[in-house]
Structure 1
């Protein structure tokens, strides 16, 4: 049995999609949802699907508490699905090539500290890009700089707002993220 541990900070649409995708999978299970946000809607989504949750502070993330909780679960893959804090080097070192992230742009463009969610989509729109997409990558000690696993492009020539871009990106995320996770876990 392969185990996935999810990290998220917000609404959790990707988390819910991943949980549903693996709900009836016999070889892969979601063992927990960890969040830094006690008001995150992802907590309700996890509860709906009977997935255990953990809420933690910045200090708990950086001082070993979260790493201890991860070690208790022994996940095969840690998935950042809308998690906004940088993973401490201690966790990255403990789980080499076992932590992945999804970014709502075609890295290396529009990545780095502060580039997430609607900020990315608005910047892409402001720069009059003709296409954007998603990047799934391994997590290292720097924001959005880990080795790429998968990218998918989408045309945004007809998009007039950041919300329209966000809609297209969410479609890509929901379609590809669970499949890439499955591929990584099944080798």
Structure 2
């Protein structure tokens, strides 16, 4: 498995997976990272880690079709066969989705289908869980399709919502299980 990452900010999943590959926990080779954010810490990390890296965004390439083609070309040139979204905050284009159908994975910080869909990412998800009164949350790894958070679920881990939980306490517990859950899903996909 040759893995490419898309990240907008820190890229914690990319870092976790790359470390797991280096430790022999996942038989895969991380090869490339693309970010839509030129100041992304993940982009700087990828360069230091020796991964092929690129910044492509709608600010640099305003036409959506041209941007989609450029992103696809970057990963094809790097000979990537599996894509991992590592906190990527943009929708993927139809060319990329078609070319990598069944080989794009994302982690979502709730038990999908609850608290998923357009606009539901990051802290917004944890706030929605707390506001709903749910007694449990967790993380879901799913295949990426054209529908936001609608792809088939590959793996889930449940995390209790405790009395007195805050956004930060719930977020910390959910993030603590995300890396290993992604590894589990990638092992299944391989």
SS of the residue aligned with 2:119? Answer: coil
Per-residue deviation, 1:159: 4.8
Aligned counterpart, 2:89: 84
Aligned counterpart, 1:99: 104
User: 2:156 touches 2:181 (CA, 8 Å); kept in 1?
Assistant: no
Aligned counterpart, 1:111: 116
Shift of the 159–50 alpha-carbon distance from structure 1 to 2, 3 Å rule, reads farther
Per-residue deviation, 1:52: 2.2
TM-score, normalised on structure 1? 0.91
Aligned counterpart, 1:183: 188
Q: 1:145-178: per-residue Cα shift (whole Å, max 9, x none)?
A: 0111111111012452111111011111022212
Per-residue deviation, 1:24: 4.1
Aligned counterpart, 1:30: 30
User: 1:136 touches 1:151 (CA, 8 Å); kept in 2?
Assistant: yes
SS of the residue aligned with 1:30? Answer: strand
**Greater mean alpha carbon deviation, residues 132-141 or residues 15-24:** 15-24
TM-score, normalised on structure 2? 0.90
Is 1:120 the equivalent of 2:120?
no
User: 1:8 touches 1:35 (CA, 8 Å); kept in 2?
Assistant: yes
Unaligned segments of structure 2, at least 5 residues = none
User: 2:139 touches 2:178 (CA, 8 Å); kept in 1?
Assistant: yes
Is 1:16 the equivalent of 2:15?
yes
Aligned counterpart, 1:7: 6
Shift of the 62–125 alpha-carbon distance from structure 1 to 2, 3 Å rule, reads farther
- Give aligned pairs, total: 184
User: 1:4 touches 1:79 (CA, 8 Å); kept in 2?
Assistant: yes
Distance 1:27 1:43 in 2: 23
User: 1:89 touches 1:140 (CA, 8 Å); kept in 2?
Assistant: no
**Greater mean alpha carbon deviation, residues 8-17 or residues 29-38:** 8-17
Unaligned segments of structure 1, at least 5 residues = none
What is the correspondence of 1:166-181 to structure 2 with a 5 Å cutoff?
A: 166-181=171-186
